[in-house]
A and B are shown apart, each in its own frame.
Chain A
Amino acid sequence: MTLVLEAAVLGVLTGGVYALMASGLTLIFGVMRIINVGHGALVVLGAYLSFAASRSLGLDPFLTLVITMPVMFLLGVVLQTVFIRPLKTDREALSVLVTYALALGIEGLLGYFFSANYMQLRAWYDTASFPIGGFRITYVYVFGFLLCLSILGVMFLVLYRTTFGASIRATMLNRTAAQLIGIDVDRVSAVAFGIGMATAAAGGVVFGITTAFNPGSHYDLISRLLTIIVLGGLGSLRGAIVAALIMLVSEDITAVVISPVWATFVFFVILVVVLLVRPQGLYGVRVRERI
């Protein structure tokens, strides 16, 4: 029983990371109506950037965020402007191809610079843990969780308490209407993509500290993230968070109760079951265009 509880707690803690990464992905979809299939690669990029920064500057991985988040944010703005904004027709389909190409390019570059060996971000305290109930929790998981919580908190504050956040939400609800009331949707889109990238950077650090990764890790990651945002409902931040928690807790419990091999499979099974009942996801809206 304690094993299940431990798995559940771990699920919540890792769920926080996935919630952060998924919220960036779903935000990008909501604002630009594109599926950023490269989001996994961006997280991995963030992990590698943190690795490089902590190695060369001797910084604690969490502290590298001070550098990597702004860098990734700017990179996001540039990528959106150069590769995504020019897509006028067939946006949804082409953006998938473009972001996939970006993912491949990133995978190639990372492989070239860092080799295909597995890495993990290290901190001097990364094996330290504290006891709770009948088991132990590693500190890094808690730090990561708190980090994700705070960034999500900031995101919500920006979205719901600032004017710019309101313009992001307006663009998400109705792009044309937002343009009509004077919102610069191109700028909003670029910034949203930047925010998505920044969350990927943060996610990258926590992901990198808790999991071994290599340039090819983005496939597994993106398949999970995509499943999460569909489960939560495309474009819904609340949905992404709830879905991430459900998925990770279920996965970790399955790993303990059944076997780790089938744990990832449970992910998809949950998706299938939910979509049977609610094709639009937990918090999604049934879209009927222009009736």
Chain B
Amino acid sequence: MKVARRTAVLRIVGLTAVLGVALALPLIAPDPATTNIAVFTVMYIGLATAWNIMGGYTGYISLGHAAFFGFGAYTLGLLLGHLGIAGGYTAFLLVPVAGLATAVLAVGIGWFALRTRAATFVIVTIAFMFMLQLLAENLVGLTGGGAGLSFPVPPWGGDYFNTPYYYAMLGLAGLGLGISWWIRRSKFGLGLLAIRDDEDKALAVGVPTRAFKLTAFVVSATLVGMIGAVYGYYVTYIYPQFVVDPLIGISMVLMVFLGGLGTLSGPVVGALILEPAQLSLAYNFGATRLYLVLYAAVFLLVILLLPRGIVPSVTDLLTRWRSRTGPSAPAPVKVLTP
């Protein structure tokens, strides 16, 4: 099967190249404007991949993931503040702790939200997000309320400022992709996909749906929480409505839908396309309210024109093209009654 071998080699080469570029980026393009875009883009790659673990694999759409993002940010900020840790590399070591705290929150919210079926689940996640936003705004003694919460400022600066954050985000995105890949090929992942296709049938063949859904939810939330923590550290000052922000929550969802729900590379593609676009829209039109209209228009175009997302559509095209050319065309699928 020479073709299969060739594709496998191409894949490995391609991935290594991408990885190489990603790792060397701050060296190739060290100017802060570019690295800033890089930080946010890689951040969204991580967020979209994490969200996909729940939304793409189980089919349960959470629109409240911004809650975990904000929670992670606040947790790290509060930890750093209360433990008196100065800005620096050690602060990054507490990011997993923020992740753990988010995991605990996710168990609580998930246990509750997953008692309901798909449509209600969406709304319950939205409700929890707003609850968290309210708590962030009103528990002034803890979070600083509307005045916000500050993070310690790191000692490195100038052009180099963004670089550690870039690698932190890259690390988390890589972790997310690794976990997502692992889940997808595992028995656990097969169970999730079964739940997505037909939850009652999955129950009937012994899949412990509640436990599986909750696990996916918690894994997804933990990753998002850690990414939120790094984000908070990066922007050094957070406010409730900008960190428990529905726009962040919906962006990660849109990116997955654009790229291809339930695929591994879909979220990456979606983030790579949408985040730079989003940033440039905000930069050029942010002052006027029309920014939202443009964003909405992009949004609608994506959904209406590419309902299945880029990766599945492209894969389909490639398969069809390959089946028409080449010596090792796959045998046509027999769909006849036995």
A96 to B300 Cα, complex, angstroms = 11
Least Cβ–Cβ distance between B290 and chain A, in angstroms? 6
The answer to whether B40 has its CB under 8 Å from any CB of chain A is no
The answer to whether B13 has its CB under 8 Å from any CB of chain A is no
A115 to B292 Cα, complex, angstroms = 13
A97 to B2 Cα, complex, angstroms = 43
Question: B101-122 CB contact bits vs A (8 Å, 1 = yes)?
Answer: 0000000000010011111101
Query: For this complex, into which size category does the number of interface residues on chain A fall?
Result: 35 or more
Contact A108 B61 (CB under 8 A): no
Please report the number of residue pairs spanning A and B whose Cβ atoms sit closer than 8 angstroms.
132
Contact B119 A92 (CB under 8 A): yes
A257-290 contacts to B (CB < 8 Å): 261-262, 264-265, 268, 271-272, 275-276, 279-281, 287-290
Given that A87-B307, A101-B303, A227-B127 are known contacts, is A275 also in contact with B253, CB under 8 Å in the complex? Answer: no
A60 to B172 Cα, complex, angstroms = 57
Cross-interface CB contact of A97 among B120, B253, B292, cutoff 8 Å: B253
Interface centre among B112, B261, B289 (most CB of A within 10 A): B289
Given that A94-B257, A104-B292 are known contacts, is A223 also in contact with B299, CB under 8 Å in the complex? Answer: no
Contact B126 A108 (CB under 8 A): no
A201 to B54 Cα, complex, angstroms = 36
Contact B127 A108 (CB under 8 A): no
The answer to whether A213 has its CB under 8 Å from any CB of chain B is no
The answer to whether A57 has its CB under 8 Å from any CB of chain B is no
Cross-interface CB contact of A93 among B61, B112, B293, cutoff 8 Å: B61
Cross-interface CB contact of B126 among A107, A109, A226, cutoff 8 Å: A226
> Quick check: which of B78-86, B130-138, B185-193, B264-272 contacts chain A, the rest being far away?
B130-138
The answer to whether A239 has its CB under 8 Å from any CB of chain B is no
A291 to B122 Cα, complex, angstroms = 24
A272 to B246 Cα, complex, angstroms = 20
* Contacting residues, chain B, for A29 (C-beta < 8 A): 119
Interface SS of chain B: helix, strand, loop or mixed? Answer: helix
* Contacting residues, chain B, for A107 (C-beta < 8 A): 289, 292
The chain A residue with its CB closest to the CB of B301 is A101
Least Cβ–Cβ distance between A62 and chain B, in angstroms? 29
The answer to whether A153 has its CB under 8 Å from any CB of chain B is no
Question: A86-106 CB contact bits vs B (8 Å, 1 = yes)?
Answer: 111110111011101110110
Contact B138 A104 (CB under 8 A): no
Contact B290 A94 (CB under 8 A): no
* Contacting residues, chain B, for A287 (C-beta < 8 A): 117
Contact A288 B200 (CB under 8 A): yes
Contact B253 A105 (CB under 8 A): no
Contact B118 A97 (CB under 8 A): no
The 7 closest A-B pairs by CB, nearest first: A111-B289, A108-B292, A105-B296, A108-B293, A101-B299, A104-B296, A223-B130
CB<8 Å pairs between A and B, sample of 26:
A87-B303, A89-B308, A93-B55, A93-B61, A93-B257, A94-B303, A96-B61, A97-B253, A98-B300, A100-B250, A102-B296, A102-B300, A104-B299, A105-B300, A107-B292, A108-B296, A111-B289, A226-B126, A230-B127, A262-B138, A265-B131, A265-B138, A268-B134, A275-B115, A279-B116, A280-B120
Residues of A within 8 A of B (CB): 29, 33, 35, 37, 83, 86-90, 92-94, 96-98, 100-102, 104-105, 107-112, 116, 215, 219, 223, 226-227, 229-230, 234, 261-262, 264-265, 268, 271-272, 275-276, 279-281, 287-291
Residues of B within 8 A of A (CB): 55, 59, 61, 63, 112, 115-120, 122-124, 126-128, 130-131, 134-135, 138, 200, 246, 250, 253-254, 257, 261, 288-297, 299-300, 303-304, 307-308
